[in-house]
């Protein structure tokens, strides 16, 4: 706020020249009111330059005024404290340095550019921040002016006399390129990646700073990048459509869970069932046969006993152990062959028979 007699005028802080801003800051520091400076810097950061508030009154024509962006003619370059708004893109980024604002706060960062709104873009490692240009001290503003001046003096295309394009060069895609200083070069566009532009010059690829080209050539490069991106996208869509057509119904508009849905990604091969010459294999389901118990039932072994007649010597067999009469002489049969069993148990039966024979022989002698 300025007072002229009984009148009070409210003027935005960014509208003052550097000398006036330094005077205001020094005055507030003498009055020990740094919070007012902080409010001025905050308002300068939030409000675009050259947009005065509604309660701002016009100054008299005999009072020196700062150059306010937005109030100049369109054919004149806009500058603030000798810095163009916006500043041209740098071909080479400067080194990191310490920056100081009017409050004495410092930050170590690398200068990038000045935006059209009057903000200085500073990069601290991978982080970029914007601070109002009017908030910096005089030495920082002089540094920005010198960096921009040195960068504009850098050469982009090598100086020399331009030779006319030959028919072979024109057929190969060569054309005339122009840098920001007006130097021309016969070259062919190869690629553009970030800050570098690759041009083919006499059959050799050479890198140039993209921001060193003229505005018209930068626009051509941007249009060519868009054309290549659209062509690559169209090619990918055509490949995907061809893969979907060879696969039959692609299930467009279906969700993956619906029947008949098939993906249409490139390289997808349709299942065999969609081919006309394909015959699906037939499978016979296996029959289940319950297990059967093949183990024979338990039964006692059957034995055949052999008997011998003591009188006539006749031998006969019976399937029981009872001592019978001799079928030949009707005499008493001995128990000689009782333990002689026929079958797989004959060895064990013979032993039992011998034991029984011995017992009966002892009983017979006792009689």
| DSSP structure class, residue 138 | H
Of the two residues 251 and 351, the one the predictor is more confident about is 351
**Domain termination site, one of 224, 251, 272:** 224
What's the total number of domains in the chain?
3
142 and 175 both lie in a single domain: no
Q: Is residue 11 part of a domain?
A: no
Structural domain boundaries, residue 355? 305-366
Instruction: Band the pLDDT of 223: cuts 50, 70, 90.
Output: very high
86 and 139 co-located in one domain: yes
91 shares its domain with 148: yes
Name the range with the highest mean pLDDT among 52-56, 274-278, 285-289. 285-289
Percent residues over pLDDT 90 in the chain: 19
Residues 143, 108 share a domain: yes
Question: 41: which residues sit within 8 A by CB, 6+ positions away?
Answer: 13, 101, 102, 103, 132, 135
Q: What is the mean pLDDT of residues 222-250?
A: 83
Q: What pLDDT was estimated at residue 199? A: 92
190 and 134 within one domain:
no
Q: Is residue 348 part of a domain?
A: yes
Retrieve residue 335's tokens. 């128990």
Cα separation of 35 and 25, whole Å?
11
pLDDT at 65 over 50: no
Where helices occur in 1-91 by DSSP H, the ranges are 18-30, 34-46
How far from 61 is each of 53, 57, 64, 65, 167, CA to CA, in Å? 19, 12, 8, 9, 63
Q: Is residue 99 part of a domain?
A: yes
CA distance 25 to 182: 44
Q: DSSP letter at 211?
A: G
Residue 29 belongs to some domain of the structure: no
- Per-residue pLDDT tens for 313-328? 777 776 544 555 677 7
Query: What is the 3-state composition of the chain as percent helix, strand, coil, each rounded to the nearest 5?
Result: 30, 20, 50
122 near 109, Cβ under 8 Å? yes
- List Cβ neighbours of 321 (8 Å cut-off, separation of 6 or more): 305, 338
Q: Are 144 and 173 in a shared domain?
A: no
What residues are paired with 350 via a beta bridge?
A: none
- Identify whether 43 is part of a domain: no
User: Is the domain of 86 the same as that of 132?
Assistant: yes
The whole-number average pLDDT for the span 266-277 is: 56
Dist. CA 364–CA 367, nearest whole Å: 5
Residue 136, helix vs strand vs coil: strand
Domain endpoint, select from 119, 152, 185: 152
- Which has the minimum average pLDDT: 21-25, 165-169, 188-192? 21-25
CATH of the domain at 202: 2.30.30.700
Last residue of a domain, one of 186, 205, 224: 224
User: Do 90 and 146 reside in the same domain of the chain?
Assistant: yes
Q: Is residue 147 part of a domain?
A: yes
140 lies in some domain: yes
Q: What gap in Å lies between CA 339 and CA 91, rounded to an integer? A: 123
Q: What is the pLDDT of residue 243?
A: 80
Residue 120's nearest CA partner among 156, 92, 90, 150 is: 90
**Are 129 and 178 in a shared domain?**
no
Same domain for 145 and 202, yes or no, is no
118 and 182 both lie in a single domain: no
Residues 6+ apart with CB under 8 A from 176: 162, 165, 184, 185, 186
pLDDT at 336 over 60: no
Query: Of 14-28, 48-62, 152-166, where does the model show the most confidence?
Result: 152-166
Look at residue 238 and tell me if it is in a domain: no
> Is 88 in the same domain as 146?
yes
């Amino acid at each position: 706020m300025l007072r002229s007699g009984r009148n009070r005028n409210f003027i935005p802080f960014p509208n003052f020249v550097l000398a006036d801003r330094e005077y205001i800051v020094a005055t507030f520091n003498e009055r020990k009111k740094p919070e007012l400076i902080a409010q001025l810097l905050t308002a300068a950061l939030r409000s675009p330059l050259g947009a005065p508030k509604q309660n701002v009154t016009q100054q008299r024509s005999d009072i020196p005024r700062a150059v306010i962006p937005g109030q100049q003619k369109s054919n004149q370059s806009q500058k603030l404290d000798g810095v163009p708004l916006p500043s041209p893109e740098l071909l080479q980024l400067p080194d990191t340095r310490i920056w100081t604002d009017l409050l004495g706060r410092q930050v170590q960062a690398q200068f990038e550019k000045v935006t059209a709104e009057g903000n200085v873009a500073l990069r601290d490692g991978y982080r970029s921040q914007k601070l109002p240009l009017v908030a910096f001290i005089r030495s920082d503003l002089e540094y920005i002016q010198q960096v921009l001046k040195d960068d504009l003096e850098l050469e982009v295309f090598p100086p020399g006399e331009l030779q006319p394009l030959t028919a072979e060069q024109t057929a190969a895609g060569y054309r005339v390129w122009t840098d920001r200083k007006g130097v021309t070069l016969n070259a062919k566009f190869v690629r553009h990646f970030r800050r570098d532009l690759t041009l083919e010059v006499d059959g050799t690829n050479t890198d140039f700073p993209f921001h060193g080209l003229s505005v018209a050539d930068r626009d051509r490069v941007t249009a060519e990048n868009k054309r290549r991106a659209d062509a690559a996208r169209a090619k990918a869509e055509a490949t995907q459509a061809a893969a979907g057509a060879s696969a039959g119904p692609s299930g467009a508009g279906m969700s993956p869970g619906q029947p008949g849905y098939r993906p249409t990604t490139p390289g997808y091969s349709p299942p065999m069932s969609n081919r006309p010459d394909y015959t699906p294999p037939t499978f016979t389901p296996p029959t289940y046969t319950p297990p059967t118990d093949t183990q024979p039932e338990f039964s006692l072994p059957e034995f055949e006993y052999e008997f011998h007649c003591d009188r006539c010597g006749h031998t006969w067999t019976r399937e029981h152990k009872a001592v019978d009469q001799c079928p030949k002489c009707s005499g008493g049969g001995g128990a000689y062959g009782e333990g002689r069993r026929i079958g797989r148990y004959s060895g064990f039966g013979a032993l039992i028979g011998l034991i029984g024979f011995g017992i009966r022989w002892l009983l017979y002698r006792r009689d």
